[in-house]
Amino acid sequence: MIPTQKGVLHGVRVLELGQVLAGPFAGAILADLGAEVVKVERVDGGDDARHMGPAFRHGDAHTFQVFNRGKQSVALDLKTEAGRAAFERLAAEADIFIHNLRPGVPRAMGIDGEAMCARHPRLIYCEISAFGHRGPMAQQPGYEPLIQAFSGLSSTNGGPGDPPMRSAASICDQGSGMWVVIGALALLQQRERTGRGGVLQTSLLETALVWNGQKADAYVNEGHLPARDRSGHPGFVPYEAFDAADAPLLICCGNDRLFAKLAQELGREDWISDARYATNRARLAHKDALLAELAPLLRQRTRAEWLQRFEATGVPCAPIHTVPEALAHPQVQALGMLSPVQGEDFSLTALPLSFDGVRPALQGAAPRLGAHNAAHGLPLPTIHTQETA
């Protein structure tokens, strides 16, 4: 694989034994940043994500392409002595090792953090689990929706009266991958001083608890949870979605100055001096009354008209886009987040980072199963796909 450009992590070697999303996402971030990422896969079908949905390219699902772009694939049978020896050689060459194997499997295979770091003292060992590395559920496996439900995250999505809802994005899986990258880079810096690596552990549950931390901390310290609101904020009014004549928009008045601008643009200067609405705390106490007056006014004009007027006067607002609308917007187009995949006929969303004004280019497509065995001096194994296994 020839990278399109040398990234900021050029020269860093990563070994990934990842499945589906959390571990592979961490590897994909590091690959986008220029690290050499070698993905170790089972010979019997490889990463399960290859088959999560219909074939997209080269027989693999779209999800696999998203979370494994820019990597190399080595297929090994870790149940054999030859496979384990090859894995150890790859680990000896790696700076960072990432896995999200089922709890108990690494120790049974002799590749737990303690054992690996004893054999490879400079290795930065990164482990992602579902429920965390200690506690009564440490050995439990788990998936994104289960963690969102278990952590309380689902219970805070949606509005009053709504059933618990999971986030459409896999925020626990992808967030855990992000924490691994942050922690691994911190340990790389520490290794510069000490010469030794270390063991990094995170989990989907810990990530979910952090994402819900503002609400959990309010409950712990104030004795109550913020009210659920589909689009709003418990601390500001008005700060939520409204219907214009033809389409919805979001208005966010984060202070009294912005509310005054909104009132003036709507021809309701009287709100500014009304004791019920003059301050944000007063508006919080009289939210229903204010929204009963505000909502009918906004339905009198189209969304485009309101956006033009509010943007001109500095009232924070935004259209509530569909995904196609968002992708077609000139601002999104200008950012260039969609990056063509070298040598392929499709594009993927790139990292939300730019270095000296340049976004890291995707380093290539996701690899075919076992495509890089020969490049690492390993014999080509007999590959068993799901269709032939």
Beta bridge partners of 291: none
Angstrom CA distances, 144 to 23, 173, 179, 279, stand at: 13, 6, 16, 41
* Rounded Cα gap, residues 108 and 309, in angstroms: 64
* Rounded Cα gap, residues 131 and 150, in angstroms: 10
Close Cβ partners of 65 (under 8 Å, ≥ 6 residues apart): 56, 57, 341, 346, 348, 365, 366
* Rounded Cα gap, residues 281 and 284, in angstroms: 5
* Rounded Cα gap, residues 355 and 8, in angstroms: 9
Biggest CA–CA distance in the chain, Å, is 80
Amino acid at site 263: A
- Write the DSSP symbol of residue 136: T
Are the beta carbons of 240 and 233 closer than 8 angstroms? yes
**Residues catalogued as catalytic:** 233
Angle at 210 between CA 352 and CA 64, to 5 degrees: 45
Nearest to 205 by CA among 216, 219, 218: 216
SS3 for 3? Answer: coil
Are the beta carbons of 39 and 74 closer than 8 angstroms? yes
* Rounded Cα gap, residues 167 and 179, in angstroms: 19
Amino acid at site 349: T
Amino acid at site 105: V
